[in-house]
A and B are shown apart, each in its own frame.
Chain A
Amino acid sequence: MAQVISLDSLMIPVSTDTMRQQLESGGCSSSSCGSSDGPADMAPEVWAKVKDHPCYSEEAHHYFARMHVAVAPACNIQCNYCNRKYDCANESRPGVVSEKLTPEQALRKVVTVANEVPQLSVLGIAGPGDACYDWKRTKATFDLVAKEIPDIKLCLSTNGLALPDHVDEIADMNIDHVTITINMVDPQVGTGIYPWIFYNHRRWTGLEAAKILHERQMQGLEMLAARNILVKVNSVMIPGVNDEHLVEVNKVVKAKGAFLHNVMPLISDPAHGTYFGLNGQRGPRAMELKALQDKLSDGTKLMRHCRQCRADAVGLLGEDRGQEFTMDQLAEEISYDPSKRAAYREIVAENRGEHVAQKAAAAEVVAESDTDATVLVAVATKGGGRINQHFGHATEFQVYEVSPSGIGFVGHRKVDQYCQGGWGEDATLDGVLAVLEGVTIVLCAKVGDCPKDSLAAAGIQVSHDYAYDWIESGIAAWYAAAYPSAARLSA
């Protein structure tokens, strides 16, 4: 069975070093709450919509799970990074195939998951084609599920071409989050990304195709914003094609009312059989992505925790329990039992209050350091906002940037699981090293001596001294020790 975030793991007592008392004394003060997702810089009605949504709120993604059902296989455009033998690459990791479901099968699956995964808060339809083009199946699925589980949040993802046709229904159905993939606001740039679209009963190519797509995307975005439906914009960063242009995209989508802008790296591999893959177009490196995200972060809120999950993903971000819930494992008859989800919500509410206070206190601790060092810290976590995963079990690291001005989440980096790679496989360790480019220290729950030594040789520290601490508290404690305050130095 895959790793589950049990209620227990959220309740694990925090290690009791002195940091903790120090931290507890701190309240939620000035700068600390203005984190990328804190309520302080967000209108209350927006916060109410996003606070339990793992894809929209960086904080919620530690606590809540989303699931996607692959009910919409048809698509109306072609992207150069997509091979339609696989799922929509706008919303999923390229090269994966999801189990296609009918709306009735999807309902059975959602109810099964809701009964077994109390963290579930969101149901999304992200393909495997385009949810707006394959509208009948998308709508039928949402209608069935909303009737059974009224408090589940619904969201959908689209390339935008068919979006304007369905905005009124989207509003009527209480879908309050829509993701549009917008890779350009200049059709000329679009010609390098979209070879054709199907619109108004014909296939369009070249500049005409990109122009139509652009206009429809902008129209859809404005229509949604006018109805107060939250819009996240996804952009795929394609080096040499639209990487610099995304600064402009960010400005335009922000002006038109997008709530979040999420830049994802192009994942390109000849084995996926995509146009880009076959033509040697490369994806960006982690540090290139970060440099771009840093440039954009004054614009629309950037979402750095997106996992490009599969069209049939189930679980907290970064984990995928989809394989536990394939159709052949589902019972024929199943009824919804709301009790587990309700109990979980209560525990999370308590926990999040504490987490917010811890974050604020951590910000005060780093503020005291007498340094101008800005460093990247990678954390191995299973969720719940804590440093609670074994180094070797981490499929990804969450990367935080820390300086005296605060601790901010900057992104996650995927790794091939170290343990699966097995020992002595330099390729895997090299992979880990590449993933950790620019990182000073990795904080985890536990780490063996061997990987620790190899990483040390490459200039990266690994520590389990802050195991089970809140992420921000652990980072602050390490930072304070590495860069003491002037007062503490002289003491």
Chain B
Amino acid sequence: MAYKIVASQCTACGACEFECPNAAISTKRGVYVIDAALCTECEGHFKSPQCAAVCPVADTCVPA
């Protein structure tokens, strides 16, 4: 159960990183990635996955 970022569409704005309640998102040399081991799909924190809700590009934060 985790989300992933479609790197080719990501604008590297970093909004998802602020919003993630589990600090599962970070940049590796300018590319944003989700650590599947930390991602809970926001379960227990919020109703909807925060990264997908804030991401400005459609279908970029998606279930892995």
Residues in A lying within 8 Å of B, measured CB to CB? 73-76, 78, 84-85, 100, 129, 133-134, 198, 201-203
What total of A-B pairs shows CB separation below 8 Å?
A: 43
A75–B53 touching, CB < 8 Å: no
Nearest A residue to B53 via CB reads A203
Q: What chain A residues lie within 8 Å of B50 (beta carbons)? A: 201
Q: What chain B residues lie within 8 Å of A134 (beta carbons)? A: 14-15, 18
Q: Quick check: is B56 within 8 A (CB to CB) of the other chain?
A: yes
B56–A78 touching, CB < 8 Å: yes
B13–A84 touching, CB < 8 Å: yes
Q: What chain B residues lie within 8 Å of A78 (beta carbons)? A: 56
Q: How many angstroms between the C-alpha atoms of A90 and B53 in the bound complex?
A: 22
Q: Which of A129, A201, A202 contacts B15 (CB 8 A)?
A: A129
A-B pairs with beta carbons under 8 Å apart, 29 shown: A73-B12, A73-B13, A74-B13, A74-B18, A75-B15, A75-B56, A78-B56, A84-B11, A84-B13, A84-B57, A85-B11, A85-B57, A100-B12, A129-B13, A129-B15, A134-B14, A134-B18, A198-B15, A198-B19, A198-B53, A201-B46, A201-B47, A201-B50, A201-B53, A202-B46, A202-B48, A202-B53, A203-B48, A203-B53
Nearest A residue to B47 via CB reads A202
Q: What chain A residues lie within 8 Å of B24 (beta carbons)? A: none
Q: How many angstroms between the C-alpha atoms of A85 and B55 in the bound complex?
A: 12
> Which 4 residue pairs of A and B lie closest in terms of their CB atoms, listed nearest first?
A84-B56, A74-B15, A203-B53, A73-B13
Q: How many angstroms between the C-alpha atoms of A77 and B18 in the bound complex?
A: 15
Q: How many angstroms between the C-alpha atoms of A78 and B54 in the bound complex?
A: 10
A73–B11 touching, CB < 8 Å: yes
B56–A203 touching, CB < 8 Å: no
Q: How many angstroms between the C-alpha atoms of A475 and B47 in the bound complex?
A: 63
Q: How many angstroms between the C-alpha atoms of A82 and B20 in the bound complex?
A: 24
In chain B, positions 7-64 with a C-beta closer than 8 Å to chain A are 11-15, 18-19, 46-48, 50, 53-54, 56-57
Q: How many angstroms between the C-alpha atoms of A129 and B18 in the bound complex?
A: 14
Q: What chain A residues lie within 8 Å of B19 (beta carbons)? A: 198, 201
Q: What chain A residues lie within 8 Å of B53 (beta carbons)? A: 198, 201-203
Other CB < 8 Å A-B pairs besides A129-B15, A202-B47, 4 of them?
Answer: A74-B14, A76-B15, A85-B57, A201-B53
Nearest A residue to B9 via CB reads A85
Q: How many angstroms between the C-alpha atoms of A74 and B11 in the bound complex?
A: 9
Q: How many angstroms between the C-alpha atoms of A191 and B54 in the bound complex?
A: 18
Nearest A residue to B46 via CB reads A201
Q: How many angstroms between the C-alpha atoms of A3 and B24 in the bound complex?
A: 47
Nearest B residue to A78 via CB reads B56
Q: What chain A residues lie within 8 Å of B57 (beta carbons)? A: 84-85
Q: Which of B14, B18, B54 contacts A203 (CB 8 A)?
A: B54
Q: What chain A residues lie within 8 Å of B15 (beta carbons)? A: 74-76, 129, 133-134, 198
Shortest beta-carbon distance from A310 to chain B in Å: 16
